[in-house]
Amino acid sequence: MIQAEAQAREARIELALERVRARTMAMQKSDELREAVLVIYEQLQQLNFEAQACNIIIFDKETGDMQFWVSGFSQDIYPESYHIPRLNHPYHEDQLTAWREGEKYVLYEYSGQERLDFDKIFFTQTDFRNVPDQPKAFMMGLKSVKLSTAFFSYGSLQVLGQEALAEDKAMILQRFATVFDQTYTRFLDLQKSEANAIEAIRRSSLDRVRAETASMRISDDLERITPLIWNELTTLGVSFTRCGVFIMDQQQEQIHTFLLTPDGRAIAAFHLPYDTAQATFQNLVEYWQKRQMYKEHWDEAAFIIWTRNLVKSVALVPTEKYVTGDHPTNLDLHFIPFLQGMLYVGNDKPLNDNELHLVQNLADAFSTAYARYEDFNKLESAKAQIEKTLVDLKQAQAQLIQSEKMAFLGELTAGIAHEIQNPLNFVNNFSEVSNELIDEMKDELAAGNLQLATEIAADVKQNLGKILHHGKRADAIVKRDAPAQPDQQRSKGTNRYQCFSG
């Protein structure tokens, strides 16, 4: 009979351990430890443990900090775990020392002034200040507490009660600790694998951001920013209801804003000066210049005021869904700095550290790609300027060539005019002399002096030859067929008249 009772009792213990094992094996994230500790506490109660509470405590090897998951004192599941930094108190140091020295089981008792002094620290300087009021009052009302503690590889399994555990129950607690240790090791391996998968997703997401942003070429492409950010925040599993990008234009001292509706639709970009009247934008500029994260909390009234002010500033149209849709009643705004501006993520509760880290990575990836976009724009602008300068240079060159042609033509004309003047002078002079000789020849013929008239006729013929000669000379100068050279003096055969160049 005694053996049957022992077997039945062992069966109940094994069943309880299997339930703990099954629940721990089913964990997908560390927050589920709060449910695992509840299962442990319930199974201990079914095994007739007289305990007010049960704790799973994970120790940090490097810092000695503790992370508590608590069950007991009330019927509710505790909403969060509680971080305890390393405290200069026996409660903390005794457990840390026993764990590091490989102890399997230790009983701790705290009472009197030591207990009161510890409560002052425990409930004011650690996350235990966030414990719900009912269990907090119960804990602080205990005059003495006995902590039966079974250690495992990552920390301890602890029950709190008025009395110390009997030896058999202390052994059972150690068995629970061993089962939890085995399944928690598997959980950590799973968590590591998931972390690697998440890291792969993160890298893929960042690569998409870089590639998409780097493909932007014109200012209209900027409207693709916010849908891109919306998609990648969703892929990364960041909790958000709204998002956007604020680009700081230092040259123009403007904030170029790109926002999304909650369903991921881009709102037309709007641009506001640095000194806009809204405090949020002023704070954005200040925190961005210091490269610091900026956080703000809005209720529904604050959101409505903000959107109305944007409508007044003609930044948003009154019919926009962002303005006319459902207004958030609780909005936490997070602005993450990067080189060219701030990445905005809004949510109905503050983002945790891991989410903020992912958003910062996203902002940095966007920043790198956006810098390439800016470089491309500068290159395109420089190219356009060079092309304009080249066109202006060609026009100036053409004008210069034309001016040089005109100047050369002027010089050429002046040279020709100067060179042709000499033969023209000879033509004029010989023509004038010939005219006079004809008059003389008429007079001699009238007087009957045929011999003299004949001589004069010969002189006229000679002068006409000279006129022909210098006419051809002028023609050659114009045609550049012959050099222009000064002529010697010409005279009539009788030397009575002489003709010189003018």
Residue 398 phi, psi dihedral angles, 5° rounding? -60, -40
Is pLDDT at 376 greater than 70 in this prediction? no
Question: Looking at per-residue confidence, does 388 or 96 come out higher?
Answer: 96
Give the residue, 141 or 489, on which the prediction is more confident.
141
Structural tokens at position 464: 């006409």
Average pLDDT over residues 383-398: 82
- How far is it, in rounded angstroms, from Cα 371 to Cα 338? 11
Residue 367's closest CA among 385, 330, 342? 342
Higher pLDDT, residue 67 or 461: 67
More confident residue, 326 or 47: 47
pLDDT-derived band at 490 (thresholds 50, 70, 90) equals very low
Compute the Cα dihedral for 221, 222, 228, 230 and give only its sign: negative
Residue-wise pLDDT tens digits, 93-128? 899 999 999 999 999 988 888 888 888 888 888 998
Whether 502 shows a pLDDT value over 50: the answer reads no
pLDDT exceeds cutoff 50 at 357? yes
Q: Give the per-residue pLDDT at 177.
A: 93
CATH dotted code for 215-351: 3.30.450
Residue 172 structure tokens: 């059972």
pLDDT grade, residue 343 (50/70/90)?
Answer: very high
What homologous superfamily is domain 2-187 in, according to CATH? GAF domain (3.30.450.40)
Over residues 275-296, the pLDDT tens digits come to 876 788 889 899 999 999 999 9
CA-closest candidate to residue 238, choices 347, 118, 372, 392:
347
Taking 70 as the threshold, does the pLDDT of residue 215 lie above it? no
**Residue 26: band (very low, low, confident or very high) from pLDDT cuts 50, 70, 90:** confident
From residue 11, how far is each of 17, 18, 401, 458 by CA, in Å?
10, 10, 109, 162
Q: What is the pLDDT of residue 500?
A: 38
* pLDDT value at 318 more than 70: no
Residue whose pair of structure tokens reads 């079974």 in the numeric block: 150
What is the pLDDT confidence band of residue 308, given thresholds at 50, 70 and 90?
confident
pLDDT in tens, 236-249: 888 888 888 898 98
Q: What percent of the chain has pLDDT over 70?
A: 84
Find the range with the poorest average confidence among 38-42, 140-144, 179-183, 349-353: 140-144
Q: Does the structure show a pLDDT above 60 at 465?
A: yes
* Residue 139 β-bridge partners: none
Q: What is the mean pLDDT of residues 166-177?
A: 93
Residue 218 has pLDDT above 70, yes or no: no
